[in-house]
A and B are shown apart, each in its own frame.
Chain A
Amino acid sequence: MSPSQDETETARRLREAIARQFGRSLHIRTLDTGSCAVCEQEIRLLSAPHYDLHRLGFFFTPAPRHADLLLVTGPAIRAFDVAARKTYEAMPGPKVVVATGACALGGVYPADPFVHGNVGEVLPIDVWIPGCPPSPLALLQGLGVAVGRLAEKTPGLTFIAADPMGSET
């Protein structure tokens, strides 16, 4: 069943209200579901002076109970299902879940008895950030998209290279 006009409008208003509430103080909890730790290296770089995510009002928190946003990395190993679910449930609403890196997006590991191979199987994902690993710049853009401050670029990209000679139709 597709949403009615009223429901779409309500969803849009809710989204804006949530973005306003997050304002310039958004607390991030990272969750590693079996990543190789390179995504974590890039996430750690966000607090380095060059990227300085605190200037944008993003902060890391060690406790899911204080977090507004869950930054999930790794291919969602099955042994971690309970922990992932508990982390998500411990967060107060409204909450945003961001899948980070090619593993989390379903690229690297196929589903097998050990991994789901896609974080979307375990948690409801709001924003997907591709990259292996996503650079700190890509992460910042992803966080901006997650709180509605930046527009997405992806729908407009084709990944078709222009012909330098211009002979392509």
Chain B
Amino acid sequence: MPLWFARGLRRGVVTTRYPARPDESAASLPTPPAFRPDRLTREAADRLVAVCPSRALERRDDLLVFDVGACTACGRCARAAPSAVNASEEFELATTDRSALIKKIPIRGDA
């Protein structure tokens, strides 16, 4: 008898909710970037904006405006500035409010 079948009979429960438990495959997913404001300079931010293929980044003076909805998690910004950008590891991003996906990152690094 297959193990999963025996386990199911013993537990008596056939279905689970979401999320029943953290999914181990989640760690391998590409995720949108998270930024380090203290490592971001205006020049670095401009470089990130230039390297983004999906127009998810825009610089407004000392703010880096990040549209998470437009991000394709390609990782080019993390490769362009590894010290200032890393993966956020957030993938459960569904929202009823499109503007909630637009995040403002302060630029506080010394030029």
Contacts and interface: CB of A to CB of B under 8 A. Distances in A.
B86 interface: yes
A123 interface: no
Nearest to B23: A137
Given A132-B72, A157-B90, A157-B103, A105 B98 contact: yes
Given A154-B68, A160-B35, A128 B91 contact: no
Nearest to B73: A132
A120 interface: yes
A102 B70 contact: yes
A135 B29 contact: yes
Q: Is the interface of A mostly helix, strand, loop or mixed?
A: loop
A19 interface: no
A130 B69 contact: yes
A153 B90 CA distance: 9
Nearest to B95: A154
A107 B98 CA distance: 12
B94 interface: yes
Contact of A108 (B25, B33, B72, B92): B72
Interface size class of A (residues with CB under 8 A): 35 or more
Q: Of B32, B69, B72, B74, which is in contact with the most chain A CB atoms at under 10 Å from its CB?
A: B69
A64 interface: no
Contacts of A127: 94-96
A130 B54 contact: no
B86 A161 contact: yes
Interface in B68-83: 68-74
A159 B68 contact: yes
B51 interface: no
Q: Kindly list the 3 A-B residue pairs having the minimum CB-CB distance in the complex, ordered from nearest.
A: A107-B70, A132-B72, A142-B94
5 contacts: A102-B71, A137-B19, A138-B93, A152-B95, A157-B88
